Amino acid sequence: MGPLQHKYRVSSAEFSPDGQSVLTASWDKTARVWDAQTGQPLTEPLKHNAEVRFARFSPDGKRLLTSSGFGVRIWDAQTGLPLAQPLNHGGGYGPVWAAQFSPSGRQIITGSGDKTGMLWTPTLVRS
């Protein structure tokens, strides 16, 4: 298996809960899901308007969370399609530096350079 190639630096990498896929985030403004055995991409690039600082799987591995700039996006891990409107932290004082799904996967917590943490219960537009 070769490298999981992005066009610019990779800022985070994580195995799915079942270990079958890998999620990478890059400063090339994309995140990507890869097959953990072959290294082949499983989705098209998950595109953002700024560098993607990190990406996480939901506890059940069905959804993805990506952070870029001042907000967070939620994606379907199988299709790579967005599942909700972006969760914009606001404030204008810095990017989202931390985000995580709750153990149930229904909520998201974020932390930002705007000196706030926020708890979200996003409405999914697809399931």
* pLDDT in the model for residue 127: 54
Query: What does the alpha-carbon distance between residue 99 and residue 109 come to, in Å, rounded to a whole number?
Result: 5
- Sketch the domain layout of the chain as residue ranges: 10-120
Q: Answer yes or no: is pLDDT of 114 > 60.
A: yes
Contact 89, 112 (CB under 8 A): yes
Q: Which of 99, 95, 97 is nearest to 122 (CA)?
A: 99
Contact 122, 73 (CB under 8 A): no
DSSP per-residue codes, 1-42? ------SS-EEEEEE-TTSSEEEEEETTSEEEEEETTT--BS
Across-strand partners of 30? 47
Residue 76, both tokens = 């379907």
Note the pTM of the prediction, 2 decimals.
0.88
Q: What is the pLDDT of residues 11-58, one digit of tens each?
A: 899 999 999 999 999 998 889 999 999 989 999 999 988 888 889 999
* pLDDT in the model for residue 122: 87
For domain 10-120, give the CATH superfamily: YVTN repeat-like/Quinoprotein amine dehydrogenase (2.130.10.10)
Mean pLDDT of the 84-108 span: 82
